[in-house]
Structures are given as structure tokens and as C-alpha cells.
Structure 1
Amino acid sequence: MPTPSAGLENSGSVPNDFTHSAQGTSLRRILGLPALVFFGLVYMVPLTIFTTYGVVTQMTGGRTALAYVVTLLAMIFTALSYSFMVRRYPIAGSAYSYTSLSFGAGAGFLTGWSLLLDYLFLPMINYLVIGLFLNVAFPEVPAWVFVVSAIALVTALNVRGINSVSSMSNLIVAAQVIFVLVFLAMAGKSLFGAPIDFTAPFVGDGSQPGLAPLMAGAAVLCLSFLGFDAVSTLAEEARDPRRDIPRAIVITTLIAGALFFVLALVAQLVFPGSAFQDVDAAANEVMLKAGGQFLAAFFTAIYVAGSVGSALASQASVSRILYSMGRDGILPRRLFGTLSGRFQTPTTAILIVSAVSLLAVVIDLATLASMISFGALVAFSAVNLAVIRTHLFDRRPRQSGDLLRYGLIPAIGFALIAWLWTSLSGLTLAIGLGWFVVGVAYLAVQTSGFRRKAPHVQFSEFE
């Protein structure tokens, strides 16, 4: 495999419509900057703050808004690292591809394997939430019926192509924006004239003092920002990936971070403290306090729609990571590394993700949440290190600002992510490390006990 120092930084040196040399086929390049930003936003689901709002508020002692500031700080530096890598390597595969090209195929596989833990279970969480919420609204219908129906709908849209995903994403983001405006208006009305302690969301209620609870909450909230990573998986479907993908990554992170902070701040002002009747359903208590039954019902409808959109986007992303790994031969190529002749989408990978998602019928939300954090932080750490390796070690810095751009920024990003690592629960670490060990064992089999090189990516423009 050629080294990453093969002079690819110049955006004019690599055509945007390159294809993989092993397949001779390419994904369709139809997405512009607005579609990429919407994709990232719907993946993160602007209302996802209310999924973990009660848990994080209780964990931080009423400092969820401040925890979002900490998380956003870490995510900004990491998002910049993603933008640096996608500008150089505008390919599908996200952290897997970047690590493969920077550290070798073995490290890339283990990064991709860890990321799969995250991506495979993100659609499942959405399906599980859809089943739970709709079962409450329609108790005569079993939750599994809603779960299976949602999986079938999302799978059909993904098989048809990314244009279907993009169109659906735009509608769902628009609906959530309307809800956010209604929530803010009704919350403002409920707060009007009442005494407000604007320091409470930052100092907390005293139930969980100190930095450790705040960082523990921030570690949970980092999962809310996975949308910018998902944007990078569409690099081979963007019309101008070197320009639009980096911009979309940073724009998505900033918009989502600001939105999460504002919603957390307003929710805390409306419902001060961290004591809830049901911590998992804390959002309903906030909605009832802000706008009564109308707002609570409106929230449920929009939240379910957002979960469908998030499942749509997350399934699209993980299927493309599986396709990239199959195309490279690290996963069975015939199973994962092929595109549909009719729709030019990784249909087999999409169907496999759908089959795994059926576990949402029997698995619980707490277990799923524990499985996701590990993969996200592995990917974020690997991409920050890949920037340093690729831009500073594999070639000499060309400008004085390169040391700042490709050295200090990713180093800060890695340090902040490492800090979040220390706040993960023991269960999360145990599950994540177990998954990682399985990946090492699989790689050992594929490489005959590490005596052979792992299958690796080969793009014609890198040769």
C-alpha cells in the first residue's frame, strides 16, 4: 500500500469521482453541503438531548447544560481532526479508512471493529425507543410490532438509495425545528414573571458536587455528537467531498452543540433540580411543566419521527462502513463488499444491519447504551492520532501553521477524549474491551496469527 505521503493534499490533484480499484464501481455523488449538514443533524436527532436528559441531570446534579459545554469543547477539536482527514482522503469508511491509511490495515480494522460496536447498536436504540413510545400511545399493539415495522420501513428506504435518506432527513429535521421553537416559546411563557436562577444549570443543586460527576455526564453526552462522524461516511456520495465534507462536519457539530446547550439550559430553568419521578421519562415531566398535555403529546410524536430519521441515517452509515471493510477484503467481500446493480447501494450490508437490529425486540435500553460509548471514543481517539501521524510524521510540515493545525489541535482533541475515557463506567469498559478482544482474535485468524498483512485499502489515486 502506498504511504499516505503521496502528495494528496492539493484538492486539485485527486478527482472527486474516483473508484475503488478492486471493484471498479462507485457510490453515486449527489449530495451537496446542505444535504450533508441535514444528514448529520438528523443522525444526531436534535431532540436526543431528552433521551438521556434525566440520567445526565441526575448524574451531574442538575448541570446538564454545563456538561454539554465540556462535551462540545472535546467534539470541536475532534471534528476538526475529521475534517483534516476527509480533506486528504475523501473516501467512505470514516475512522476505519483514516486509521488504515495512517497506521496500517491492522490498526484500521481494530478501529473499524470498535466503531461497529457503536454503529450497529445505534439503529437498534432508535427502534427500541420507537416501540416503547408507540406502545404507550397504543397499548393494544405489542411493542415488537412497531419495532419490526420501523425496521422494514427504514430498510426499504436505505435500499432505494441515499437520495431517499436525504429527502426523509430534511422533513424530519424541519419537524424537529418546529417543535424546538414551540418548546422554547411555551417554556418562555411559563417562565415569564417567575423568579429565575440563571446560575443553577451551571452550579447544580448540590446533590452531585465536584468535577467527577460533571465529566461522567459529559462522557455520556459525547454520543449525542456522533452525527459529524456519520457525515464523513458519505464522502463518496458528496459532489465535492474535499470542500463540503469538512465544512459539513464542523457546521453540524457547532449547530448541534449550540442547540443541545440551549435546550438543556431552558429545560433546567423550567424544571429546576435533579429529582424526577421517573428518571428515564424525565423529558415528559419537563414538557408537562412547560406546556401541559399538548406539549407532552407533541413531543412524543416528534420524538418518534426523529427516532425513525436517526435509524434511517445510522443504518445508512454503518452499512457503508461494512461495505468499505468488505470492499477492502477485511470482511468477506462477497457478502459485504458489493453494491446493488439496480440501486448502487450496499444492499447486503443494509439487510445484515436490519437483521441485527431485530435484537431490539428482546434487549434493554441500558445494555445498549453501555455498548455504544466505547466504540465512539475509540474512533475519536484514533482519528486525532491519525492526523498527527499523517500530516506531521509521514511528511514534513509545509507551512508554519501546520504544527498548530495538525499537531496542537488533534493533540488537544485526543487529550480531551482521553479525559472522557476515565469517566466511563466499569460495565462499559468491560463490554468494549470484550468486543475489542473478539476483533483481535478475528484479525489473528485473517492474518494466520499476524504472519500475513491484513487486507488493506487500495485506491487508484493513491498509487
Structure 2
Amino acid sequence: MSIFRTKNLDTMVADSRSPGGLKKVLGPTDLIFMGIGAIVGTGIFVLTGTGAVTAGPALTLSFVVAALACCFAAMCYAEFASTVPVAGSIYTYSYATLGEIVAWMIGWDLLLEYGLATSAVSVGWSGYFQSLLSGFGLGLPTVLTAAPGALPGVETWFNLPALVIMLVLTTLLSWGVRESARLNNILVVIKVSVVLLFIVVGAKHVQPANWQPFMPFGVSGVMSAAALVFFAFIGFDAVTSAAEEVKRPERDLPIGIIGSLVICAVLYVVVAAIMTGIVPYQKFLGIDHPVSLALQYAGENWFAGFVDLGAILGMTTVILVMAYGQTRVLYAMSRDGLLPKRLSSINPKYGTPYFATWTVGIIFGVIAAFVPLGVLAELINIGTLAAFCLVSVAVIVLRKKRPDLHRAFRCPGVPLVPILAIVFCFALMTFLSKTTWIAFGIWLVLGLVIYFGYARRRALLHPGNAPA
């Protein structure tokens, strides 16, 4: 009856290996590409401009701070993912260590984070796609280009491209993770090539004088920008959602999590340094295509179109991986009885949670089409930072509760590293706006209402509900 009841770790691992579950088809390369696919997108192609205005050339330090917070948390994720290779990411880990109520709340949090991330990125995808069409002299009717009220003084009905890309990728995800991974790998190669080409082309146009003053807004500016560009690193945690579909999770998951994060952190810092070295940071105010602007400023207009294409491909993989992560969290919560069982049913032909995939695809596709998402990045950030804090706490708790448990990967420096993750993540949360905290609080209260009104009595751990 306790809201802090926990699941048995050994039973969880055994259940994940039982026949009839998710197909085990992913290797370390797939996981690294999945992480890069989720991370390199809106952050590098859009948020770098806003970050530059907030921190100046010290945006590079902002990326380092955000990367450190993620790195500490990634070590904790890697230990859990390799030890408990079960779908559901931090939701599952919390259920085994911190109790059902904590697991439910963080699962509820992840559903919002991943879902709104797909909606937000699909809206960004729509903008770049329409820009690319205009380059060929093509365009959509204005009423189909944005959500109602998104364009002041302009009548719009809904964002058609955002809805279409969500439905197309939902179709792909429903067909199978192997097929989705293949497409993701191809797109990741293309978009990383575009980023590397930007580095090569842009480096020769850097003017060191543009880096002075380096920190025009002081430490506060660096930290505020770090809280914003933290959004750029969201995604590596989605790799852990694939745990039940990995061939050798004890080895491959730590490689995928840490490898993708390190590669993306290096790319971000280098791109930020080159951007602010080409263009004075003040000129990024109100710009939503900062990488293209830097090339235009340098007179490399021929390459700007490639950057737009890279941005479209980058956002496509972000939507794909984040939608995948959301469906696996939903699947895990449903399997535990906290949500309707239909959401954890596996399609016999495709081996995927077909109904759950289409449920979230349609819901958040409609949100992308009809809702202007002005403060979405901050709302996603606060949910992710809260999840990172909890996984860090969970590592410390599990070390105390189960010191005998075999850990294929051990987070170094416990409890210091998890504590540093908590400190860094909470520090970034304090720099988010009051509106973001209020919206996050409302979502959590709604989650509590659903838990006590529905989920608690239907959980498999509730007396009388456990399968015979």
C-alpha cells in the first residue's frame, strides 16, 4: 500500500529478457548515432544565437558548464543502464530505488519533456523546411504555416509541415526500431558532415577581436546562457530508453551514452567559438539561424543552403529519437500497471508498442500544429534537469541498498560525482524563469492527481494486482 514501494531489480531484469518482448537489435554504433541524432539539432542550429546574445563570446564556457552537468549525470545513467537494462530510463531506475511515487512523477515528467521536445523541434523543422522551399520559389498557403496566433497580425490555422513530419516519423517508429535506427544513422552522418564543413569553412574567417570582451555579462551571463543551451544536450538520456533493445547492454549502453555526449560537447564548443569569432555577438539578437548568418557574414553564401539542409536533417533525427524515448517510457509505465495496459501491447508483426507510438505521435503532432510554443525550451530544460538530479540520487541510494549488485559499469567517485551532478543541475534550474517553475509545478500537481486517482490502485505492486 506504500507509495514508496519498490520493484525487485532481479525480477525486472528477468522480465526484460523474457520472450515476446521488444526485439534486441541495437549495437554500440547505433547507440552513439542515436545519442548524436538526439543531441545535434535545434541546439546547435538555433539556440547558439540566443546563447551568444546572453553570454557573448563566453558562450563557449556556457557550453562547457552545461556539458559538465550532463557529463556527471551521464556517468550515473551509464551505471544504471548497464546494470538494469530495462526500458523506461530514469523512471525504471527510480522505481527500483526511490519508490513508486517518485518513479511515477519522474515518468510523468519525462512524458512532458520528450513530448514537448518533439513538438518544439517539429515547429523549428517546419520553419527551416519552409525557408528551403522559398529558396526554390515555392511556398505553402499562409494559413497552413503556423499555429493560430503565432504570427502577430497574420491569420493562421495550423502548422501543416510540423504535423506532417510528426506523423511521418511516427509511422517509421511504429514499423520497427531497426528501420528507425538505419534512417537515423544515415541522417546523422550527413548532418555531422555539415557541421564539420562549417568548422573548416568558418575557421579561416575568425577575427579574434570579436572575442573581446570575452565575458561582457560576467558569470551571470555565462550561467544564464548555460541554463538555456542545456537544451542543446538533451537527448543522450533517450539512449537509455533503448536498454531492452540492445544486444549487449552492459557494454554498449555506457559507450553510447558517454560517447555521444563527448562528441557533441566538442562540436558545440568549437562551433560556438567560430560563430562568435566571425560575427560580433550583438548581431545575433533575434536571429533564429545563427550558423547560416555566420556564413553569410563571412561571404560564404554558397554554403548557407547546405546549413539549412543540415538543420532540417538535424531536427528530423531529434524528433525521431525523442519520440522513440517517449514511447518506451510510456511502454514501461503501462507494463507496470500505472497506465492503461493497451499502451504496453506489442505488435506481433513489427515488435513495437504500436498503439503507444501512434497515441503520442498524434497528440504531440496536434500540439505542434495548433499551439505556439514560445517558452518551450525552458519548460523542457527544467524537466530534464529534475530527471538528472533524481538519477544521481538513485545511484547513491542503490549503492547503499545493493552493494552486492553486479555493475558492468561503475560511476566513478560515488558519492562525489552524483553530488556534483545534483549541484550543477540545480544551479542551472535556478536560472530559469519564474513562469517556467510555475508551469512545471502545475504539471507535477496534475501528475499527483492522476497517480492517487488512478495509477496507485492499478499498479502491479498493489496488493491483488500482481500477476499469478
Normalised-by-shorter TM-score class: 0.7 to 0.9
Query: Which one-letter code corresponds to 1:445 in the other structure?
Result: G
Q: Which residue of 2 aligns with 1:72?
A: 67
> Once the 2 structures are TM-superposed, how far is the Cα of residue 199 of structure 1 from its aligned partner?
5.3
Q: Deviations over 1:201-231 (max 9, x none)?
A: 8x23x2xx22222111111222222222011
Q: Please give the alpha-carbon distance, in whole angstroms, between the structure 1 residues aligned to 2:267 and 2:449.
A: 42
Given that 2:64 and 2:269 are in contact with CA atoms closer than 8 Å, whether structure 1 keeps it comes out as yes
Match of 1:185 among 172, 193, 200: 200
> Once the 2 structures are TM-superposed, how far is the Cα of residue 446 of structure 1 from its aligned partner?
2.3
> Once the 2 structures are TM-superposed, how far is the Cα of residue 126 of structure 1 from its aligned partner?
2.0
Q: Deviations over 1:392-430 (max 9, x none)?
A: 24547999x989633111111111111111111111111
Given that 2:210 and 2:279 are in contact with CA atoms closer than 8 Å, whether structure 1 keeps it comes out as no
Given that 2:41 and 2:315 are in contact with CA atoms closer than 8 Å, whether structure 1 keeps it comes out as no
Q: Please give the alpha-carbon distance, in whole angstroms, between the structure 2 residues aligned to 1:40 and 1:421.
A: 23
Given that 2:41 and 2:318 are in contact with CA atoms closer than 8 Å, whether structure 1 keeps it comes out as no
- Which 5+ residue runs of structure 2 have no aligned equivalent? 146-158, 463-468
Alignment of 1:285-296 (within 5 A): 285-296=293-304
Alpha carbons of structure 1 residues 77 and 65: separation in structure 2 relative to 1, 3 Å: same
Match of 1:249 among 247, 254, 257: 257
Given that 1:5 and 1:390 are in contact with CA atoms closer than 8 Å, whether structure 2 keeps it comes out as no
Deviates more, 1:142-151 or 1:179-188: 142-151
Given that 1:219 and 1:423 are in contact with CA atoms closer than 8 Å, whether structure 2 keeps it comes out as yes
- Secondary structure of 1:61's match? helix
Match of 1:311 among 307, 314, 319: 319
Task: Give % identity.
Answer: 26
Q: Which residue of 2 aligns with 1:460?
A: none
Q: Which residue of 1 aligns with 2:88?
A: 93
**RMSD between superposed Cα atoms in Å:** 2.7
Q: Which residue of 1 aligns with 2:120?
A: 125
Match of 1:150 among 165, 189, 192: 165
Q: Deviations over 1:37-85 (max 9, x none)?
A: 0011001125631211121111123321110011111111100000111
Given that 1:5 and 1:395 are in contact with CA atoms closer than 8 Å, whether structure 2 keeps it comes out as no
1:344 partnered with 2:344: no
Query: Which one-letter code corresponds to 1:340 in the other structure?
Result: N
- Secondary structure of 1:56's match? helix
Given that 1:86 and 1:235 are in contact with CA atoms closer than 8 Å, whether structure 2 keeps it comes out as yes
Alpha carbons of structure 1 residues 25 and 402: separation in structure 2 relative to 1, 3 Å: closer
- Secondary structure of 2:295's match? helix
Normalising by structure 1, we get a TM-score of 0.87
1:363 partnered with 2:362: no
Query: Which one-letter code corresponds to 1:330 in the other structure?
Result: L
Given that 1:106 and 1:454 are in contact with CA atoms closer than 8 Å, whether structure 2 keeps it comes out as no
Alignment of 1:106-255 (within 5 A): 106-138=101-133, 140-141=139-140, 142-143=144-145, 144-191=159-206, 195-197=207-209, 200=212, 203-204=214-215, 206=216, 209-255=217-263
Given that 1:84 and 1:246 are in contact with CA atoms closer than 8 Å, whether structure 2 keeps it comes out as yes
- Which 5+ residue runs of structure 1 have no aligned equivalent? 9-13, 458-463
Alpha carbons of structure 1 residues 277 and 380: separation in structure 2 relative to 1, 3 Å: closer
Q: Which residue of 2 aligns with 1:297?
A: 305
Match of 1:427 among 432, 435, 452: 435
Normalising by structure 2, we get a TM-score of 0.86
